[in-house]
Structure 1
Amino acid sequence: MADNRFHYNNEDDPYFISYKKTYGTNMNAHHYHNSYEVYYLKTGERNLFIKDRVIELKTGDFLIIKPNILHMTRNGKLPEYERIILNYRDDFIDKDKKYQQDLSNLFQQDYMVIHLPLQDRILIEDILNHMILEVDSQLHGYETQIKSLILHLLVTISRSAENNNIKEMNHINSTHEKISDVVKYINQHYYQVITLERLSNCFFISPYYLSRTFKEVTGLNIIEYLNTIRIKEAKRLLRETNYKISLIAEKVGFGSLSNFGRVFKEGTGHSPRYYRTNKNS
């Protein structure tokens, strides 16, 4: 099966557009970014792990994610899929109060899934295809055109949301619901000593079953997920505070500075000190 892809810019730029039509791929890791993400599933099915649960995405679903929300997509029941992703930062769209008021219903939650009726899907696909043509041709004024297209896109989605097209965030099954509770617990207590045995006792699940099921549902084992949450918070503290690195390591749950440094570098590719100096922007 052909793997058709289109990318423009990267996730460090003010906006990023990606189109992909492919067969059966899982993201390599959970990720988050400092931009809004707009994800449109044109065809197929995907399972989305986001924040503390798994959501089934189907053809015609439109997902909006606020900045710094952990998420990952994985194969659904149908492995072939086609999707378009748009990421944009606040500073790319003027921070006009009128815009914020008109679009406020889209950003009251950390994420929202809207199932678009056919008429809206046709319009949305036209807007997204127009964006791709603009960035591909890069004619005079193309970035101004992209800004206007993003606003057109968001207003269209906002109107669709007002028509009660927002999907309920139901758990896929009782197992997913139980693992969601475990994830919420880790999200709230990441700075404490968390072990498989502790979680097993808290949720009355055998260690073996919990370990296996957690990996199946989230795509990570418990330690990998815990470290992801800890590093996410450590990055925030490195950007937003002047705390000593040793104090940050302690605040996010690491028992030693050396272990913190090792895990941080594995997760980011840089030492905490380098990140603070070079990524604090």
Structure 2
Amino acid sequence: MAILYRYDLCFGMHLNHNNGTHPYPEECAFHSHETCEIFYLVSGSVCYFIENNIYNLTPGDMIIINSGEVHKIAFHPDRPYESFEIRFDPTVPAQFNSHVCDLLNCFANRPKGHRNKISLQISQIENVLGIFYKIENIYNSSFYGQEILRLTTFIDLLVYINRLYMNIEKAEKSLYIPEKILNVINYIDSNLDNNLSLEFLENKFFINRSYLSRTFKKYTGTSIHEYIILKRIIKSKELLSKGFNVTQACQLSGFNDYAHFVKMFKKIIHMSPSQFIKKEYDGSTENKSIGAYNKQNRYIPTHLLPDLIVTDVLWRPSNPAEGDEVLFSAVVKNTGNGPKPEGIILGVGFSVGPHSVTWSDIHVSRLNPGDSVTLTANTGKDGIPV
């Protein structure tokens, strides 16, 4: 792939204007990244593999990819093409969201690997190309407020893409993948922490392992082993982001060898699991030009938030008599996909009758997904009887 221009747009955004026949080496293999991606094909033809779908692109087609979606691009040999590609940190546009406009809607609010392709009509092509060229022209000019105009023009692009996305009547059909291979892919995705050896898959799906390996690579462009490793590393990233330690992430993502897990994590993520945790904790980013660019204000998709519910209410004595003092407790469980952060007070109130009210408000530790904590009424070390 020959790059006509590569622009660092600041605020965590990067634009490539590509032209040529040879792809980047890293684009040849399945991968994922923490940035979102917009790919627009100006001329030529390419093929995108995203999760378990394949999209064939012709001029005027656009691909949108969320952070974490596994994907790869395939170029036809000796066929020139031209494209625009923008990668951006989702924390930036998220700061411009309102209660009626989510700039990340088309990226975040859909299943992985679905509705990634948008085919544009002639008038829409002119509008999108106009915005891309405007970003280029602003970058190549030198005037007061240049950086701000780059950002606002990019926001214009996101608004327009979301309008196109919401007006799509039906999802673009992906290219054909045999049902047997789809079944294998879906099984792998749902059972990353289980045995996924070729021998097991052969017996599970009654497919000769040699045929399975050849057919899988034919339709996905990668081997079963490479696909499983990548998917397990992505799952381990999600677990680390939710508060699990490195050993837990290793085991729960299906790795039986800790050293092998760390080696593969470094190879794919380009940092060790411990460095990844530190990066998540620090909320560090490449570019902190926007003042609110920090961990407290970063964009977190709703499906990664904690969800706290009361699962049980307890009291003692268990069979109180009239006149007894009763101490209440509540069991709170995190049923969401993200942790309740350390330092945030988790409280629950108890109200008995018209006047008696007491609280438990001293729990400030992290509460990971699936974990529960018992909160006892307090305002003193031993709680306040009601």
Whether TM-score is above 0.5 comes out as yes
In structure 2, the partner of 1:8 is 7
Q: In 1, Cα distance between the equivalents of 2:170 and 2:78?
A: 23
TM-score, scaled relative to structure 1: 0.86
Q: Deviations over 1:137-181 (max 9, x none)?
A: 3532223212221232233333334543765233x2353x44333
In structure 2, the partner of 1:173 is 176
In structure 2, the partner of 1:84 is 84
Which secondary structure state, in structure 2, belongs to the residue aligned with residue 8 of structure 1?
strand
Give the greater-gyration-radius structure (CA). Answer: 2
Q: In 1, Cα distance between the equivalents of 2:28 and 2:96?
A: 34
Kept in 2, the 8 Å contact 1:23–1:80? The answer is yes
Q: In 2, Cα distance between the equivalents of 1:248 and 1:33?
A: 18
Which secondary structure state, in structure 2, belongs to the residue aligned with residue 69 of structure 1?
coil
Q: In 2, Cα distance between the equivalents of 1:198 and 1:125?
A: 49
Residues 1:104 and 1:277: Cα distance change in structure 2 (over 3 Å): closer
Letter in structure 1 aligned against 2:79 = P
Q: CA deviation at 1:259?
A: 2.2
Same amino acid, percent of matched pairs: 25
Q: Deviations over 1:239-280 (max 9, x none)?
A: 331x33222211111112122222223323433223323454
Which secondary structure state, in structure 2, belongs to the residue aligned with residue 31 of structure 1?
coil
Residues 1:9 and 1:256: Cα distance change in structure 2 (over 3 Å): same
In structure 2, the partner of 1:147 is 151
Gapped regions of structure 2 (runs ≥ 5)? 284-386
Residues 1:138 and 1:218: Cα distance change in structure 2 (over 3 Å): farther
Kept in 1, the 8 Å contact 2:19–2:83? The answer is yes
Alignment of 1:45-194 (within 5 A): 45-76=45-76, 79-93=79-93, 94-98=95-99, 100-101=101-102, 104=105, 107-109=108-110, 110=112, 111-137=115-141, 139-164=143-168, 167-170=171-174, 172-175=175-178, 177-194=179-196
Q: Deviations over 1:211-234 (max 9, x none)?
A: 112122222211111111111121
Letter in structure 1 aligned against 2:269 = T
Residues 1:101 and 1:144: Cα distance change in structure 2 (over 3 Å): same
Which secondary structure state, in structure 2, belongs to the residue aligned with residue 137 of structure 1?
coil
Letter in structure 2 aligned against 1:262 = K
Which secondary structure state, in structure 2, belongs to the residue aligned with residue 86 of structure 1?
strand
Residues 1:99 and 1:69: Cα distance change in structure 2 (over 3 Å): farther
In structure 2, the partner of 1:258 is 259
Which secondary structure state, in structure 2, belongs to the residue aligned with residue 143 of structure 1?
helix
Which secondary structure state, in structure 2, belongs to the residue aligned with residue 34 of structure 1?
coil
1:240 is the counterpart of 2:242: yes
Q: CA deviation at 1:77?
A: 8.1
Residues 1:201 and 1:63: Cα distance change in structure 2 (over 3 Å): same
Which secondary structure state, in structure 1, belongs to the residue aligned with residue 116 of structure 2?
strand
Moved more, 17-26 or 226-235: 17-26
Q: In 2, Cα distance between the equivalents of 1:68 and 1:148?
A: 25
Query: In angstroms, what is the RMSD of aligned CA positions?
Result: 2.7
Kept in 2, the 8 Å contact 1:115–1:165? The answer is no
Q: CA deviation at 1:237?
A: 2.3
Q: Which has the higher helix share?
A: 1
Higher relative CO (Cα under 8 Å, sequence separation at least 6) belongs to 1
Q: In 1, Cα distance between the equivalents of 2:190 and 2:206?
A: 19
Q: CA deviation at 1:105?
A: 5.7
Residues 1:264 and 1:190: Cα distance change in structure 2 (over 3 Å): same
Kept in 2, the 8 Å contact 1:24–1:79? The answer is no
In structure 2, the partner of 1:230 is 232
Residues 1:8 and 1:160: Cα distance change in structure 2 (over 3 Å): same
The counterpart of 1:23, out of the listed 18, 21, 24, is 21
Residues 1:79 and 1:214: Cα distance change in structure 2 (over 3 Å): farther
Q: Deviations over 1:9-34 (max 9, x none)?
A: 39x96111111011143723222222
Residues 1:248 and 1:100: Cα distance change in structure 2 (over 3 Å): same
Gapped regions of structure 1 (runs ≥ 5)? none
Moved more, 25-34 or 192-201: 25-34
Letter in structure 2 aligned against 1:75 = F
